[in-house]
């Protein structure tokens, strides 16, 4: 179903993504996406009922870049560190001669305030469509379904 080299790349994609989100290197975040990719952050309750409302819905890499600008320059917020712990992805399908991968992975994001304890900011899973390009694997879409039903106005940095 999948050869080792692709699997190695896939696992590195997941861990690279996590590390970039946690390292305050947000300007690298858009590079994980195709130009026409979407990124959505949606509460599980809405997702399971087929309701469209998302906390964040970025419908192109340009919108993702704009979000980075917002995080770095305009959003007023109390800074914090975050740390993604992501389970091994489960591969749901590989199609188009190995060029398209459909996968999911559970995640938890831990927030550490500068003067405080570490707590769980968000838990949920990624539902991903990935394509093989000349520059490596990239997300065609990444949907983050998070378990909490509280409105997480405190989520500032990429999940």
Binding site for a second copy (CB under 8 A): 1-4, 7-8, 11-12, 14-16, 18-19, 22, 44, 81, 83-91, 104-108, 110, 112, 114-120, 122-125, 147-150
User: Which of 63/71 has CB closer to a second copy?
Assistant: 71
CB of 88 to a second copy, least distance (A): 5
Are 110 and 120 in contact by the 8 Å Cβ rule? The answer is: yes
> CA-based angle 155:13:52, to the nearest 5?
45
Token readout for 52 is 């469209």
Tokens 């699997």 map to which residue? 7
Minimal distance, residue 49 CB to a second copy, in Å:
13
Shortest distance in whole angstroms from residue 149 CB to a second copy:
5
Give the β-pairing of 100-113 and 33-43: unpaired
Closest approach of a second copy to the CB of residue 51, in Å: 16
- Residue closer to a second copy (CB basis): 34 or 110: 110
Q: Rounded CA gap, 156 and 70, in Å?
A: 9
């Amino acid at each position: 179903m999948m050869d080792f080299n692709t699997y190695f790349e896939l696992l590195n994609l997941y861990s690279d993504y996590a590390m970039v989100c946690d390292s305050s290197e947000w300007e690298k975040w858009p590079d994980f996406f195709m130009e026409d990719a979407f990124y959505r952050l949606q509460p599980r309750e809405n997702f399971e009922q087929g309701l469209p409302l998302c906390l964040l819905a970025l419908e192109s890499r340009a919108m993702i870049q704009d979000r980075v600008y917002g995080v770095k320059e305009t959003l007023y917020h109390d800074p914090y560190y975050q740390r993604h712990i992501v389970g091994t992805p489960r591969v749901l399908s590989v199609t188009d001669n190995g060029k398209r991968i459909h996968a999911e992975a559970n995640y938890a994001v831990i927030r550490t305030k500068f003067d405080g304890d570490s707590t769980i900011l968000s838990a949920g899973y990624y539902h991903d469509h990935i394509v093989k390009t000349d520059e490596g694997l990239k997300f065609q879409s990444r949907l983050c379904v998070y378990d909490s039903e509280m409105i997480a106005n405190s989520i500032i940095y990429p999940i």
